[in-house]
Amino acid sequence: MSKSYVHGYSEVEAQRLFDQADTLTSIIHHDSFFPPKSRILEAGCGTGAQTCILAKQNPDSHFTSVDISESSLDEAKRRILKAGISNVTFIHHDIMDADFSCGMFDHAIFCFVLEHLKEPEKAILRVMQMVKPGGTITAIEGDHGSVCFHPETTMAMRTIECQVILQKQAGGDACIGRKLYPILVRAGLKDVRVTPRIVYADGGRPEMVDGFTLKTFIAMIKGVKEQALAAGLMTTVEWEEGINDLSSSAEKTGTFSYTFYKGSGYIP
Protein backbone atom coordinates (compact mmCIF):
# COMPACT_ATOMS: atom_id res chain seq x y z
CA MET A 1 0.00 0.00 0.00
CA SER A 2 1.17 3.53 -0.71
CA LYS A 3 2.44 5.62 2.17
CA SER A 4 1.21 8.75 0.38
CA TYR A 5 -2.08 9.82 1.91
CA VAL A 6 -3.19 13.02 0.21
CA HIS A 7 -5.24 14.20 3.22
CA GLY A 8 -2.33 13.96 5.66
CA TYR A 9 -2.20 12.64 9.23
CA SER A 10 -3.05 15.70 11.30
CA GLU A 11 -5.37 15.76 14.32
CA VAL A 12 -7.77 17.83 12.22
CA GLU A 13 -7.90 15.08 9.59
CA ALA A 14 -8.40 12.42 12.25
CA GLN A 15 -11.37 14.34 13.62
CA ARG A 16 -12.77 14.80 10.10
CA LEU A 17 -12.69 11.05 9.59
CA PHE A 18 -14.64 10.47 12.79
CA ASP A 19 -17.17 13.18 11.89
CA GLN A 20 -17.61 11.45 8.54
CA ALA A 21 -18.01 8.02 10.13
CA ASP A 22 -20.58 9.23 12.66
CA THR A 23 -22.61 11.03 10.01
CA LEU A 24 -22.62 8.19 7.51
CA THR A 25 -23.14 5.19 9.79
CA SER A 26 -26.77 4.60 8.86
CA ILE A 27 -26.04 5.08 5.16
CA ILE A 28 -22.82 3.08 4.83
CA HIS A 29 -23.00 0.51 7.60
CA HIS A 30 -26.66 -0.33 8.17
CA ASP A 31 -25.90 -3.71 6.58
CA SER A 32 -22.31 -4.19 7.81
CA PHE A 33 -22.95 -7.31 9.85
CA PHE A 34 -20.98 -10.55 9.97
CA PRO A 35 -21.88 -13.99 11.38
CA PRO A 36 -21.01 -14.46 15.07
CA LYS A 37 -17.49 -15.77 15.76
CA SER A 38 -16.22 -14.39 12.45
CA ARG A 39 -12.57 -13.44 12.10
CA ILE A 40 -12.48 -10.24 10.06
CA LEU A 41 -9.54 -8.44 8.51
CA GLU A 42 -9.89 -4.67 8.21
CA ALA A 43 -7.36 -3.69 5.57
CA GLY A 44 -6.20 -0.12 6.13
CA CYS A 45 -7.97 0.92 9.33
CA GLY A 46 -6.44 4.39 9.57
CA THR A 47 -7.41 6.18 12.78
CA GLY A 48 -10.12 3.62 13.56
CA ALA A 49 -13.12 5.71 12.55
CA GLN A 50 -14.73 2.80 10.73
CA THR A 51 -13.27 0.24 13.15
CA CYS A 52 -15.28 1.64 16.05
CA ILE A 53 -18.53 1.30 14.10
CA LEU A 54 -17.82 -2.17 12.72
CA ALA A 55 -16.62 -3.60 16.01
CA LYS A 56 -19.60 -2.22 17.94
CA GLN A 57 -22.03 -3.65 15.40
CA ASN A 58 -20.33 -7.05 15.50
CA PRO A 59 -19.47 -7.63 19.17
CA ASP A 60 -19.33 -11.42 18.73
CA SER A 61 -16.75 -11.21 15.96
CA HIS A 62 -13.05 -10.36 16.18
CA PHE A 63 -11.36 -7.75 14.00
CA THR A 64 -7.71 -7.63 13.02
CA SER A 65 -7.17 -4.07 11.85
CA VAL A 66 -4.01 -3.30 9.89
CA ASP A 67 -2.50 0.01 8.80
CA ILE A 68 0.81 1.29 7.49
CA SER A 69 0.81 4.45 9.65
CA GLU A 70 1.96 4.09 13.26
CA SER A 71 0.51 7.48 14.20
CA SER A 72 -2.89 6.49 12.80
CA LEU A 73 -2.79 3.21 14.72
CA ASP A 74 -1.95 5.05 17.94
CA GLU A 75 -5.04 7.21 17.44
CA ALA A 76 -7.14 4.16 16.57
CA LYS A 77 -6.04 2.37 19.75
CA ARG A 78 -6.84 5.43 21.82
CA ARG A 79 -10.32 5.73 20.30
CA ILE A 80 -11.08 2.04 20.72
CA LEU A 81 -9.94 2.08 24.35
CA LYS A 82 -12.03 5.17 25.06
CA ALA A 83 -15.07 3.47 23.52
CA GLY A 84 -14.57 0.37 25.67
CA ILE A 85 -14.28 -1.91 22.64
CA SER A 86 -12.33 -5.14 23.19
CA ASN A 87 -12.81 -7.22 20.03
CA VAL A 88 -10.10 -5.56 17.93
CA THR A 89 -6.40 -6.32 17.48
CA PHE A 90 -4.29 -3.65 15.76
CA ILE A 91 -1.22 -4.51 13.70
CA HIS A 92 1.27 -2.06 12.18
CA HIS A 93 1.95 -3.41 8.70
CA ASP A 94 1.56 -2.81 5.01
CA ILE A 95 -1.28 -5.12 4.00
CA MET A 96 0.68 -6.11 0.89
CA ASP A 97 3.40 -7.52 3.14
CA ALA A 98 1.28 -8.70 6.06
CA ASP A 99 2.42 -12.09 7.28
CA PHE A 100 -0.93 -13.81 7.74
CA SER A 101 -1.63 -17.44 6.96
CA CYS A 102 -3.73 -18.25 3.91
CA GLY A 103 -7.37 -18.64 4.86
CA MET A 104 -6.83 -17.15 8.31
CA PHE A 105 -9.89 -14.88 8.09
CA ASP A 106 -13.57 -15.46 7.39
CA HIS A 107 -14.12 -12.04 5.82
CA ALA A 108 -12.23 -8.85 4.96
CA ILE A 109 -13.24 -5.23 4.49
CA PHE A 110 -11.69 -2.14 2.88
CA CYS A 111 -13.20 1.20 3.93
CA PHE A 112 -12.01 4.19 1.88
CA VAL A 113 -8.65 2.54 1.22
CA LEU A 114 -8.57 1.45 -2.43
CA GLU A 115 -8.88 5.08 -3.58
CA HIS A 116 -5.37 5.73 -2.24
CA LEU A 117 -3.64 2.79 -3.91
CA LYS A 118 -1.81 2.71 -7.21
CA GLU A 119 -2.87 -0.89 -7.82
CA PRO A 120 -6.12 -1.58 -5.93
CA GLU A 121 -6.67 -4.95 -7.61
CA LYS A 122 -3.36 -6.23 -6.29
CA ALA A 123 -4.40 -5.26 -2.77
CA ILE A 124 -7.67 -7.14 -3.18
CA LEU A 125 -5.86 -10.19 -4.54
CA ARG A 126 -3.42 -10.13 -1.62
CA VAL A 127 -6.25 -9.95 0.91
CA MET A 128 -8.16 -12.69 -0.89
CA GLN A 129 -5.28 -15.03 -0.09
CA MET A 130 -5.84 -14.37 3.60
CA VAL A 131 -9.58 -15.14 3.51
CA LYS A 132 -10.88 -18.68 3.35
CA PRO A 133 -12.91 -19.91 0.34
CA GLY A 134 -16.52 -18.89 0.69
CA GLY A 135 -15.53 -15.81 2.65
CA THR A 136 -16.34 -12.31 1.47
CA ILE A 137 -14.47 -9.18 0.53
CA THR A 138 -16.28 -5.87 1.06
CA ALA A 139 -15.08 -2.52 -0.28
CA ILE A 140 -16.55 0.94 0.30
CA GLU A 141 -15.44 3.93 -1.77
CA GLY A 142 -16.57 7.42 -2.70
CA ASP A 143 -16.57 9.12 -6.08
CA HIS A 144 -15.81 12.82 -6.40
CA GLY A 145 -17.32 12.80 -9.88
CA SER A 146 -20.71 12.25 -8.24
CA VAL A 147 -20.67 15.61 -6.47
CA CYS A 148 -23.75 17.69 -7.17
CA PHE A 149 -24.50 20.90 -5.32
CA HIS A 150 -26.33 24.22 -5.49
CA PRO A 151 -25.39 26.93 -6.05
CA GLU A 152 -22.67 25.55 -8.33
CA THR A 153 -19.88 27.76 -9.65
CA THR A 154 -16.84 27.10 -11.82
CA MET A 155 -14.47 28.16 -9.06
CA ALA A 156 -16.09 25.85 -6.51
CA MET A 157 -15.74 22.94 -8.94
CA ARG A 158 -12.08 23.81 -9.45
CA THR A 159 -11.33 23.45 -5.74
CA ILE A 160 -12.80 19.96 -5.84
CA GLU A 161 -10.82 19.17 -8.98
CA CYS A 162 -7.65 20.19 -7.13
CA GLN A 163 -8.17 17.36 -4.68
CA VAL A 164 -8.88 14.91 -7.51
CA ILE A 165 -5.67 15.94 -9.27
CA LEU A 166 -3.54 15.80 -6.13
CA GLN A 167 -4.84 12.36 -5.25
CA LYS A 168 -4.05 11.15 -8.76
CA GLN A 169 -0.53 12.55 -8.48
CA ALA A 170 -0.15 10.62 -5.21
CA GLY A 171 -1.11 7.42 -7.02
CA GLY A 172 -4.77 7.26 -6.03
CA ASP A 173 -8.16 7.76 -7.63
CA ALA A 174 -10.80 10.02 -6.06
CA CYS A 175 -13.36 8.76 -8.60
CA ILE A 176 -12.85 5.06 -7.96
CA GLY A 177 -16.42 4.46 -6.75
CA ARG A 178 -17.82 4.02 -10.25
CA LYS A 179 -15.09 1.47 -11.00
CA LEU A 180 -15.66 -0.70 -7.95
CA TYR A 181 -17.69 -3.37 -9.74
CA PRO A 182 -15.13 -4.12 -12.50
CA ILE A 183 -12.26 -3.98 -9.99
CA LEU A 184 -13.87 -6.60 -7.76
CA VAL A 185 -14.82 -8.77 -10.72
CA ARG A 186 -11.34 -8.65 -12.25
CA ALA A 187 -9.88 -9.66 -8.90
CA GLY A 188 -11.81 -12.92 -9.21
CA LEU A 189 -14.59 -12.42 -6.69
CA LYS A 190 -17.90 -14.12 -7.45
CA ASP A 191 -21.47 -12.87 -7.17
CA VAL A 192 -20.26 -9.28 -6.93
CA ARG A 193 -22.91 -6.79 -5.86
CA VAL A 194 -22.44 -3.02 -5.71
CA THR A 195 -24.96 -0.57 -4.32
CA PRO A 196 -24.87 3.24 -4.37
CA ARG A 197 -25.18 5.00 -1.03
CA ILE A 198 -26.37 8.53 -1.71
CA VAL A 199 -25.78 11.33 0.77
CA TYR A 200 -28.04 14.33 0.41
CA ALA A 201 -28.08 17.49 2.53
CA ASP A 202 -30.20 20.62 2.48
CA GLY A 203 -31.73 23.12 4.90
CA GLY A 204 -34.29 20.57 5.98
CA ARG A 205 -31.53 18.16 7.06
CA PRO A 206 -29.29 20.33 9.22
CA GLU A 207 -27.52 17.33 10.74
CA MET A 208 -26.35 16.25 7.28
CA VAL A 209 -25.33 19.79 6.35
CA ASP A 210 -23.18 20.01 9.47
CA GLY A 211 -21.88 16.42 9.54
CA PHE A 212 -21.28 15.87 5.84
CA THR A 213 -21.31 19.05 3.75
CA LEU A 214 -19.27 21.09 6.24
CA LYS A 215 -17.35 18.72 8.49
CA THR A 216 -16.69 15.94 5.96
CA PHE A 217 -16.57 17.15 2.37
CA ILE A 218 -15.71 20.85 2.55
CA ALA A 219 -13.29 20.14 5.41
CA MET A 220 -11.58 17.56 3.16
CA ILE A 221 -11.22 20.04 0.30
CA LYS A 222 -9.92 22.74 2.64
CA GLY A 223 -7.31 20.28 3.85
CA VAL A 224 -5.46 20.24 0.51
CA LYS A 225 -5.17 24.04 0.21
CA GLU A 226 -1.40 24.24 0.73
CA GLN A 227 -0.74 21.38 -1.67
CA ALA A 228 -3.00 22.89 -4.32
CA LEU A 229 -1.36 26.30 -4.07
CA ALA A 230 2.15 24.81 -4.04
CA ALA A 231 1.31 22.83 -7.19
CA GLY A 232 0.07 25.97 -8.90
CA LEU A 233 -3.40 24.53 -9.44
CA MET A 234 -5.07 27.72 -8.22
CA THR A 235 -4.01 31.11 -6.88
CA THR A 236 -4.79 32.08 -3.28
CA VAL A 237 -7.50 34.45 -4.46
CA GLU A 238 -9.08 31.80 -6.68
CA TRP A 239 -8.94 29.24 -3.89
CA GLU A 240 -10.65 31.48 -1.36
CA GLU A 241 -13.35 32.35 -3.90
CA GLY A 242 -13.88 28.68 -4.68
CA ILE A 243 -14.16 27.66 -1.02
CA ASN A 244 -16.57 30.52 -0.32
CA ASP A 245 -18.70 29.44 -3.27
CA LEU A 246 -18.60 25.79 -2.18
CA SER A 247 -19.61 26.81 1.34
CA SER A 248 -22.77 28.39 -0.07
CA SER A 249 -24.10 24.86 -0.54
CA ALA A 250 -24.26 24.61 3.27
CA GLU A 251 -26.47 27.66 3.62
CA LYS A 252 -30.25 27.49 4.11
CA THR A 253 -31.04 27.53 0.40
CA GLY A 254 -28.09 25.35 -0.60
CA THR A 255 -28.05 21.64 -1.42
CA PHE A 256 -25.32 19.02 -1.60
CA SER A 257 -25.25 15.43 -2.85
CA TYR A 258 -22.53 12.80 -3.02
CA THR A 259 -22.51 9.08 -3.80
CA PHE A 260 -20.55 6.33 -2.09
CA TYR A 261 -20.42 2.78 -3.45
CA LYS A 262 -20.38 -0.39 -1.39
CA GLY A 263 -19.44 -3.64 -3.10
CA SER A 264 -18.88 -7.20 -2.02
CA GLY A 265 -18.26 -10.63 -3.45
CA TYR A 266 -17.24 -14.05 -2.21
CA ILE A 267 -14.07 -16.04 -2.75
CA PRO A 268 -14.66 -19.22 -4.80
Tell me how far the alpha carbon of residue 28 is from its chain's centroid. Answer: 10
Confirm whether 4 is domain-assigned: no
* Integer Cα distance of 5 and 172 in angstroms: 9
Average pLDDT over residues 87-105: 89
pLDDT of residue 9: 46
- Polymer length in residues for the chain: 268
pLDDT digits (tens, 9 = 90+) for 20-47: 667 889 999 999 999 999 999 999 999 9
Q: How open is the CA angle 59-60-61, to the nearest 5 degrees?
A: 95
pTM: 0.91
Q: What's the CATH number where 147 sits? A: 3.40.50.150
| Structural domain for 44, as ranges | 11-266
pLDDT digits (tens, 9 = 90+) for 121-169: 999 999 999 999 999 999 999 999 999 999 999 999 999 999 999 999 9
Confirm whether 2 is domain-assigned: no
Query: Does residue 251 carry a pLDDT above 70?
Result: yes
Confirm whether 5 is domain-assigned: no
Query: Does residue 2 carry a pLDDT above 60?
Result: no
Find, among 185, 219, 216, 194, the residue nearest to 25 by Cα: 216
Average pLDDT across the chain, whole number: 92
Q: How many structural domains compose the chain?
A: 1
Confirm whether 6 is domain-assigned: no
Confirm whether 36 is domain-assigned: yes
Confirm whether 47 is domain-assigned: yes
160 and 147 in contact (C-beta within 8 Å)? yes
Confirm whether 141 is domain-assigned: yes
Confirm whether 138 is domain-assigned: yes
